[in-house]
A and B are shown apart, each in its own frame.
Chain A
Amino acid sequence: MIRVEGLTKTFITGRGAQRTVVQAVRGVSFTAPDGAITALLGPNGAGKTTTLRMISTLVKPDSGTAMVGDADVVRDEQKVRAELGVLSDARGLYTRLTARENIRYYGELRGLGGDDLEARISSLANLLEFEPLLERRTEGFSTGEKLKVSLARALVHDPKHVLLDEPTNGLDVVSARALRRMLLKLKESGKCLVFSSHVMQEVEALCERVVVVAKGQTMHEGTVAELKARTGKDSLEDAFVELAFGQGV
């Protein structure tokens, strides 16, 4: 389970006259239970990515807490990292290494090795449907192929908690569907999944729980049905627009 309470983060860029203060996150709270997919739904710049980065320990929150399992993101940084699998917005692979070598590198950094690791890599490739690519260098891989390798890399240690930042961005229909199947399989195996998105159909098809984030704050937390009921709208998109931007948009 991932619990987030009152997270805030302000970024300051530049100095002197160029100094700008951006309040990226002003109070995001939600709970993502195990065995479920929780969506962070919000417009661009709502603070979704920053929230995910705080959960993954790369950004220190100014205030508030986030717990991954029973580990605190500030106090138990390494433990949180060990329990998390993250598919971030940055999905760079090492192009001179093969897909297997890319995944193996992360596995070894996490203390895995030997036949167990190799078997794990093969089974992930099977699960994510990219076995033929496994021994090829990742140079020239398509967006979908890169995503699959990045995801396998994030899941190599079989993490209990998985964060995905707009995973279907730039994917074609076939790859997006494959990814969704994969997420559902992970959910069924009891994992806690949090993923950010602004694609309504995707959220509706995958997620039990929706957290609407806008202007750096949590505007709603609940099931898709609750969201619709609260706003009195029939479609998720209408309900989302009303919550995120207010009436009359």
Chain B
Amino acid sequence: MRQLLTVLKKEVLDAVRDRRVWLVVLVTSLVSGPLMLLLMSKLLSDLKSKAEAREVLVDNAKAAPKLVNFFERQGRVVKPPPSGVRESIEAGRFDDAVLTIPEGFEDDVAHGKLVNVTVLHDRNRAQSATAAHTLERLVNGWSQEVGMQRLLVRGVDPALLRSVRTTVVTIGASRSGAAGVLVPLVALISAVIGALAIAIDVTAGERERGSLEPLLMNPVSAWALVLGKWAAVVLASLVTLTGTVTSFSIAGQFVRDATMSAAFQFGLNEAGYTLALLGPFCLLVSSILMLAALFARGHKEAQATTSYLVSLVSIAPSLSLFLSLQDSTWQLFVPVMGQNMLLSRMFRGSPVTAVDVLIPAAVCVVLTSLALFAQTRLLQREAIVFARG
């Protein structure tokens, strides 16, 4: 135990004097909260302002005076599109949508033909898609109005066309949104990033410097060495995670906008829950990164091996998003996915039971023990101890 503390003390001192470690910890934790807030407020306010925007772009508006009149009755200002819309869309610089009216539109409608109008937008850009949706709704509105007039002319009650009316009731939706995806992802990654530099330094770094061999000549058990080093890595991971979470909750206090604060509710409760959920994950990440880096003979090699793990952590949450995975028990047993699922649930305001939290924690503890055990074995291997970078 005393030796373990000696190793821990030394590794912490070494890390504290390493500017790279500080930079990562500080940048990650200080920047992530405000940055997240900035991104989300930009996204939300842009969406909102677009939705409320009075302007709609209509190409060849003069061919459809009645449609334009309808738009204006809806409080819209009709404007001609800028030139080179297609090019702008291809270059990914177009944040609006354009309605194109064909020649002879008004005549064709008057003669009861089905007329095609096109709406051009960039589906990769959220604001462009919103604008397209607005245009589609407006055109449909007018189309319905014209249709009703036709029915009335023929003496048919337009209400006959509708048999069912749907009223959508939203529950808990106000707490989901962008935060439910972004916050878990950033929190998970911060735990990894915080551990990364030290995990490499205490393993591959020792090999590269040629300090592992003399270190092992001390009458110290492999367990004391591995656990001492691991404790230092866990500490860095936890500090970064705590910093990030604190940064989130401080940022959350500054939110005034109603839409924003609904999407980004991150107070002390959420912070505590995030820490409790990701604490065991820090244990796991630290041990796995160390194990991966121990196979490397130097910093560079270790960065290459550990980068797979870092990408894995960043991909897993998006994976469940893209596959539209439903919350299910098996995910709790998969590291990263389980944590991500539970954090998302927190943002949705869905209930989380103690078992839900204990399963991922237990998985982390078991895998951590295995990774640490593997390292004590590796430290007795000649290929690890003597091969240097």
> Which residues of A are in contact with B by a Cβ distance under 8 Å?
11, 13, 53, 56-59, 78-79, 81-82, 84, 86, 88-97, 101, 105-106, 108-111, 150, 153-154
Contacts and interface: CB of A to CB of B under 8 A. Distances in A.
Contacts of B382: 11, 58-59
Nearest to A57: B217
B220 interface: yes
A90 B211 contact: yes
B12 to A, nearest CB: 12
Nearest to B213: A90
B206 A92 contact: yes
B50 interface: no
Given A92-B206, A97-B13, 13 more contacts: A58-B213, A58-B382, A59-B382, A90-B210, A90-B212, A91-B210, A92-B209, A94-B14, A94-B211, A101-B10, A106-B218, A109-B219, A109-B220
B45 to A, nearest CB: 46
Contacts, number: 75
A92 B3 contact: no
A13 to B, nearest CB: 8
B263 interface: no
Interface string B83-119: 0000000000000000000000000000000000000
B217 A58 contact: yes
Interface residues of B, number: 27
B157 to A, nearest CB: 84
A123 to B, nearest CB: 20
Interface in B1-27: 2-3, 6-7, 10, 13-14, 17-18
19 contacts: A13-B383, A53-B386, A58-B213, A78-B219, A79-B219, A81-B218, A86-B214, A92-B206, A92-B210, A92-B212, A92-B214, A94-B211, A97-B13, A101-B13, A109-B3, A109-B7, A111-B2, A150-B214, A154-B214
Contact of B217 (A13, A84, A96, A111): A84
B292 interface: no
Contacts of A94: 10, 14, 209, 211
Contacts of B193: none
A86 B217 contact: yes
B216 interface: yes
A94 B10 CA distance: 10
A56 B211 CA distance: 15
B7 to A, nearest CB: 7
A3 B214 CA distance: 22
Contacts of B216: 58
B218 A109 contact: yes
Contacts of B206: 92
B388 interface: yes
